[in-house]
Amino acid sequence: MDVRKAKQEVIRPEGIDMFYYKDELDITIQQPLLVVEGMIAGFVPVFAAMFIAIYFLKGTIPLALPLVTTLISIASWINLFARRYHKVHIAMDDRHLSIIRRPRKFIKDQHYRINDIDQIYVKGPAGMTSVYMIVNSVQGQKHVKLISSVDSLSKARFIEQEIERHLGIPDRRIPEENP
């Protein structure tokens, strides 16, 4: 007798928006903070203050250095305060699944043919959970990270569940998947 643990359906958690139009689905979540963004917002203001102090106390560096670091500091802090507008859209129509980040932050939009998608799964520790998919290609199956650093396991599981439901993919256990 085959006894399998049934997955519990996840109710839409706060912070995920869904939009259906005809046969299209758009799932929108908050874009995760990139490590580089946090480092820039934390370290560049320190360097800016240091360069300003050196410029005014000793005058041994050009004015451009404190000005540029100050402008970068201001831009990084504006970026942090505008985070609520930074979104990731998972858009599905009858032929493609697309991952669209706005603003892009130097990351290209990703597009995959629905016929090539074999499975969606969740992997990683709580707070650093990522949503992956298995894509069939001529070279074999490859594991592709759709969204990284989802801030809760329930959000990641909900995204997995809704993509599989919309694409008609039966859920099955993947060795790499979190238990």
pLDDT in tens, the chain (179 residues): 343 455 678 888 898 999 989 889 999 998 877 778 888 888 999 999 999 999 888 888 898 999 999 999 999 888 888 877 889 999 999 899 999 998 887 789 999 999 999 999 999 886 688 999 999 988 999 999 998 888 888 899 999 999 999 999 998 888 888 76
71 shares a domain with 25: no
Q: Which H or E element spans position 149?
A: strand 140-150
Residue 94, in any domain of the structure: no
- Peptide bond before 66: cis, by omega within 30 degrees of 0? no
| Both structure tokens of 11 | 């109710």
Number of structural domains in the chain? 2
Asked if residue 6 belongs to a domain, the reply is no
In a domain, 96, yes or no: no
pLDDT at 24: 92
What pLDDT was estimated at residue 2? 40
Residue 10 lies in a domain: no
40 found inside a domain: yes
Radius of gyration of the chain (CA): 21
Asked whether residue 130 falls in the same domain as residue 151, the answer is: yes
Q: Which domain holds residue 45?
A: 36-81
**What pLDDT score does 7 carry?**
66
Whether 109 and 101 have beta carbons less than 8 Å apart is answered as yes
